[in-house]
Amino acid sequence: MTSHKRLHLKTYLLILVMIIAGPLGNLMLGKGMKNIGKITTEVSSPSEFIHVFVRILSSGTIWLGIASLLTFFVAYMLVLSWADYSYVQPASSMAYLVVALLATLLLGEVVSPLRWAGIAVICLGVFVVGRTNPRTTENC
């Protein structure tokens, strides 16, 4: 039974890593790109495109975001090696709420009540999508 408990703990822990590292990654990408400036006004010629591209690739915040998203990805892969996809995916739908929560707390973004409602409905939708059979095609 203790190994069963440990498996549960391991699963919860990794899902927690997923729903924090994923949104945090997106947040850092957002912050990094806001520092670069609006892409539509920054880029108006091919040479400016390369210049902006280099600035993106030399931004520490962007790389932190990518590292955070990679952490999310590794946690996702690891947890999928023992837990069912139809269990992990609905649990990770929480990430949509977490991203909005962190964006208001850390970046000071304003989220209207209607948008909160929309985000909650999206979470519910993703939850329902995930709670279905992960394999519907025949094995070849």
Partner 1 sequence: MFEVLFFSLIVMAGTGGELCVSRAMKEIGEVHDFRPAAIIKVLGRALRAKWMWIGIGLMTLGFFSLLAILSLENVSFVVPVTALGYVAGALGGRFFLGERVNWRRWAGVFLVCVGVTLVVIGRT
Residue bearing tokens 């932190």? 64
Phi and psi at residue 127, to the nearest 5°: -60, -45
Nearest to 22 by CA among 121, 81, 91, 82: 91
CB-CB contact of 19 with 92 (8 Å): yes
Instruction: Count interface residues toward partner 1 (CB under 8 A).
Output: 51
Our CB check for partner 1 shows the closer of 5 and 38 to be 38
Q: Let me know: does 121 contact 97? Beta carbons within 8 Å.
A: no
Cβ nearer to partner 1, comparing 9 with 39 = 39
Distance in Å, CB of 120 to partner 1, minimum: 7
* Least distance in angstroms from the C-beta of 136 to partner 1: 4
Residues 81-120 interacting with partner 1 (rule: CB under 8 A) = 81, 96, 99-100, 103-104, 107, 109-120
Q: Please, are residues 9 and 45 in contact by the beta-carbon 8 Å criterion?
A: no
Among 10, 17, 36, 63, binds partner 1 (CB under 8 A): 36
Report how far residue 94's alpha carbon sits from residue 89's, in angstroms, rounded to the nearest whole number: 9
Comparison of 6 and 131: residue with beta carbon closer to partner 1: 131
Report 4-33 residues binding partner 1 (CB under 8 A): 23, 26-27, 29-30, 33
Q: How many residues are there in the chain?
A: 140
Q: Under a CB-based contact definition with an 8 Å cutoff, are residues 114 and 37 in contact?
A: no
Contacts to partner 1 by CB under 8 A: 23, 26-27, 29-30, 33-34, 36-40, 42, 56, 62, 81, 96, 99-100, 103-104, 107, 109-133, 136-137, 139-140
